[in-house]
Structure 1
């Protein structure tokens, strides 16, 4: 069945609640494990129906925010998703209170019960109006970003579409295009700041109403950080600042020398090579066909998966007017279908999407056996291992996408992954400071961002962009608005993915694929550290793990000569 024919039905909340309550009563009153497991299984089926409807509405609205039907559905879900979450809250309470709990734990994944414990702490029906407000503010942010219509030399671009111009080998073009992007964010600064100010107030009220000191403590529970805590994150951030920033600065200095510059200005950061960044060769359709061949050659499992995606039209890749920014993968439960959303723009990012988001999608495809909607995906720091590792697993096929630019692509891919780590922890550090100081003004927040940016990303020189010196770069980081505290996870996963990079591409480890496949197949039924154990990877929190991983990457990049990447 084609994705276009996947049927969207807005659920009738009252009818759903009636049936849900009956199943909940069966669970509550069950005196045998057979009756209890039947009730949980039925509740899983009901919850999967809602999850399916929500994801279909979200996907179709993100593809076209000007679609009036799905704009209304987006509004419905902003209002009603918290009500459905309220029913889930009752399910979690009933599940954990069951006298048959010990027996139930023998029949369902352990993480379902961990998840239930987290959700009981982070939800209460009395707060539904606040959750509704938070949802609407997220939609407001996404629509504001999607509304960008940037006039450049008489042509109109979205933020995604203008990206190639910000990477132009022509300095004047690169600078002017960057100025246009900065102008959009600066012009709409009051709107971004108002949305975020209201988000902070709303989220802080939610957290304190539930007994948390602040939203930071709330978010760490919401994010299911079962294997680590905030002090461990703070220590990890310090390690990144101390050990990785010096390495990234060497890479930026090398970039400046390569491009014949005394120093990199902000608009120069995006141009890695004087002859231009590596760009994929071929139309979007040809890139998809190259990806299909790659996944068939990689493994039988990935070949079957990618055929499924293409045949069912489960990829929406082209950037267009009204489409939300960014890229994501989600899972449509009742159709057992992953879905990939992206904004192709002719840069190497297009290939990154076909590997990164496909890593997520492959994991969910291999986890279709899991009936609990909340644990098809693992937690964020775990699921990003699948995506970031797949980017490196695909390296042997990059020549089909980049031909004589392959060395440039691989060098920049690995270098930019390393350069990402300080920025990733900067985003987490900024959010922690903001939510620990919820009464800060917009100016104080921006000043905090700029201060942290100078520590983690000292390569950013805004002499030619005074608006950026005010500390507004963070406006473009959608996670800060719509997925708070989902960012440190990327860096933790990146450190793990570097280990897979080494095993696949340096050591040619014959066991690496089976380890990767194994963690895709367990989905969210294991915790972060359990997944690392299955994959035979070291935890980023383990003493020495960060040092060893970064040393190997640094040495590899150092030994790539400039002649190899011209």
Structure 2
């Protein structure tokens, strides 16, 4: 993008230079006119975009190889030296913005952002600047723990993700060995992970206290700009899932056990084909995965296919799992370039197809909103951002021939697995979200208390899996969820968004590409409108009450029952 404010030869590591740019924005004499204020806003947005891209690219480099000390140092130095400058000036620039005579004149253009600005002013406390840096570094320490996890299995050193692929094998003894091997390794780091969480928990409670909030829940709902729902709404969601979705999951597990000839399912019986067919092997290499997913998108919507091919051509996807690479998967935006990047850990499984479909949905969102003029409008709330990604999973499963050709049995198995995951997701989201609410309502808890709380929640959402003799694992299953460490309270969004995605999928089944047109139109709005308006533009409802949940879950169950 052409710059109007930041020099082309800008050095993002130069503390004095970065400070001078922010200072020039702060001291600039902005004429009392909407045009002058708008121009000043664009300069500020440009600086934030440049710095955000530097941060994103360094984060990518660090997670691609957690053993790369230079990459870790480059990211750490930026977090420690540069991001605090931006955080410090945010409050000052927000005050300058609100005080400008033309502030109210631009509310129709920037109203959503202006509302966020006011929240930022209310939450800001200079004591939280070093705490935010401390939090980021603590997350980095956590990632070193998880990124270093590997085991000797089946003749070679493997990542836990690679061993996880064995849970689809038909040999039950091998599955059990793989499951136990992974969890024995995880439990070796139980205390380091507990200590990492304790440290992050303490930092976050300090941040909330400094911001004069009742507790961290109060703080995070404001910080996440959850203007459209409350903690009580989340608890209603937990209850609705327990009553409406959990019975379906229990029935599915009961049927699975019957097909497998088992009295009860064990945790290593959940991913294998219940009829003892070998795992689906849809591809061999990461490049093949990318190519065939691109073909899926070309088959469902021309714009989706075009964007997918652009990512392939520009090598904006790193698909393969390898030692030293951080676990998990994500999509991140390079904000100044207006380009997305996908990070994942593929293991040649059918599930990888849906992971790439999911992250590609986020990428399409990045492409769609690229013309939004200011940095804040290109940062969309997860409640809708995840609709963009989850919709592509459900829509993508309608065109699996690039992977399976005319093998309808394999296609049906893949689709059934995806829909089963949809049902599974709701209770897991409710579990993780209710766990967070319980923890942050109880700030004096210990690691043992944490395990007790999780054990209660596991019992509440018990779908019939037998953990006899595995109580230590059951009590610590929460530790595998990186969101609890890296991005607290970022999980209920998946449940809300899944309801939106199911609606998009239902529309696609009736309307075809026209449903995707509406989705992309909503995505192009960025965060220039409220979340309910985004949903409405996409042709769906922002509602997660039983009135919406029950018929959608029934639709999924009807599809599953056909197979």
Range of TM-score over shorter length? over 0.9
Q: Is the 8 A contact 1:165 1:173 kept in 2?
A: yes
Verify: 1:193 aligned to 2:233, yes or no: no
Q: Is the 8 A contact 1:265 1:464 kept in 2?
A: no
Verify: 1:352 aligned to 2:354, yes or no: yes
Q: Is the 8 A contact 1:496 1:537 kept in 2?
A: yes
Verify: 1:481 aligned to 2:485, yes or no: yes
- Aligned pairs for 1:109-120 within 5 A: 110-120=111-121
RMSD across aligned positions (CA): 2.0
Q: 1:524 aligns with which of 518, 522, 527?
A: 527
SS at match of 2:277: coil
Cα displacement (A) at 1:467: 2.1
Q: 1:292 to 1:559 in 2, by over 3 A?
A: closer
Q: In 2, Cα distance between the equivalents of 1:90 and 1:183?
A: 50
1:459 maps to what in 2? 464
Q: 2:422 aligns with which of 417, 422, 425?
A: 417
5+ residue gaps in structure 2?
A: 2-7
5+ residue gaps in structure 1?
A: 561-566
- Aligned pairs for 1:14-53 within 5 A: 14-26=16-28, 29-53=30-54
2:203 maps to what in 1? 202
Cα displacement (A) at 1:20: 1.6
Q: In 2, Cα distance between the equivalents of 1:446 and 1:30?
A: 58
1:136 maps to what in 2? 137
1:248 maps to what in 2? 249
Q: In 2, Cα distance between the equivalents of 1:423 and 1:370?
A: 34
Cα displacement (A) at 1:559: 2.7
Verify: 1:448 aligned to 2:453, yes or no: yes
Q: In 1, Cα distance between the equivalents of 2:521 and 2:293?
A: 22
Cα displacement (A) at 1:8: 10
Q: 1:426 to 1:22 in 2, by over 3 A?
A: same
- Aligned pairs for 1:84-483 within 5 A: 84-108=86-110, 110-273=111-274, 274-403=276-405, 404=407, 405-469=410-474, 471-483=475-487
Q: In 1, Cα distance between the equivalents of 2:162 and 2:544?
A: 38
Q: 1:459 to 1:118 in 2, by over 3 A?
A: farther
Cα displacement (A) at 1:7: 11
Q: 1:60 to 1:87 in 2, by over 3 A?
A: same
Verify: 1:550 aligned to 2:549, yes or no: no
SS at match of 2:540: coil
Q: 1:353 to 1:513 in 2, by over 3 A?
A: same
2:4 maps to what in 1? none
Q: 1:299 to 1:135 in 2, by over 3 A?
A: same
Q: Is the 8 A contact 1:402 1:409 kept in 2?
A: no
Compare 513-522 and 411-420 and name the one that shifted more: 513-522
**Ranges of 4+ aligned residues in structure 1 off by more than 4 Å:** 6-9
Q: In 1, Cα distance between the equivalents of 2:11 and 2:306?
A: 29
- Aligned pairs for 1:1-12 within 5 A: 10-12=12-14
Q: In 2, Cα distance between the equivalents of 1:546 and 1:345?
A: 33
Compare 81-90 and 33-42 and name the one that shifted more: 81-90
Q: Is the 8 A contact 1:377 1:383 kept in 2?
A: no
Cα displacement (A) at 1:123: 3.1
- The superposition leaves residues 245-278 of structure 1 with CA deviations (integer Å, 9 ceiling, x where unpaired) of 1111111111111222111011212224321443
- The superposition leaves residues 446-505 of structure 1 with CA deviations (integer Å, 9 ceiling, x where unpaired) of 110111011123333211424214x11111100000000000000100011111222223
SS at match of 2:522: helix
Q: Is the 8 A contact 2:228 2:531 kept in 1?
A: yes
SS at match of 1:278: coil
Q: 1:270 to 1:297 in 2, by over 3 A?
A: closer
SS at match of 2:239: helix
Q: In 1, Cα distance between the equivalents of 2:412 and 2:119?
A: 45
SS at match of 2:344: strand
Verify: 1:538 aligned to 2:541, yes or no: yes
Q: In 2, Cα distance between the equivalents of 1:451 and 1:13?
A: 49
Q: In 2, Cα distance between the equivalents of 1:390 and 1:491?
A: 16
Q: 1:512 aligns with which of 507, 510, 515?
A: 515
- The superposition leaves residues 326-346 of structure 1 with CA deviations (integer Å, 9 ceiling, x where unpaired) of 110111012111111111111
Q: In 2, Cα distance between the equivalents of 1:191 and 1:502?
A: 44
Q: Is the 8 A contact 1:179 1:465 kept in 2?
A: no
Q: Is the 8 A contact 2:91 2:124 kept in 1?
A: yes
Compare 32-41 and 360-369 and name the one that shifted more: 32-41
Q: 1:258 to 1:279 in 2, by over 3 A?
A: farther
TM-score after normalising by structure 2: 0.94
Q: Is the 8 A contact 1:241 1:456 kept in 2?
A: yes
Cα displacement (A) at 1:510: 5.9
Q: In 2, Cα distance between the equivalents of 1:8 and 1:446?
A: 49
1:563 maps to what in 2? none
2:5 maps to what in 1? none
Q: In 1, Cα distance between the equivalents of 2:285 and 2:263?
A: 37
Q: In 1, Cα distance between the equivalents of 2:514 and 2:373?
A: 29
- The superposition leaves residues 26-71 of structure 1 with CA deviations (integer Å, 9 ceiling, x where unpaired) of 36x4312222111111111111111011011001111011112111
SS at match of 1:100: coil
Compare 288-297 and 376-385 and name the one that shifted more: 288-297
SS at match of 1:511: helix
Q: 1:169 to 1:10 in 2, by over 3 A?
A: farther
Q: 1:491 aligns with which of 490, 495, 499?
A: 495
Q: In 2, Cα distance between the equivalents of 1:509 and 1:323?
A: 38
Q: Is the 8 A contact 1:367 1:522 kept in 2?
A: yes
SS at match of 2:424: helix
Q: In 1, Cα distance between the equivalents of 2:296 and 2:114?
A: 38
Q: Is the 8 A contact 2:390 2:501 kept in 1?
A: yes
Q: 1:33 to 1:7 in 2, by over 3 A?
A: closer
Q: Is the 8 A contact 1:26 1:36 kept in 2?
A: no
SS at match of 1:445: helix
Cα displacement (A) at 1:114: 2.6
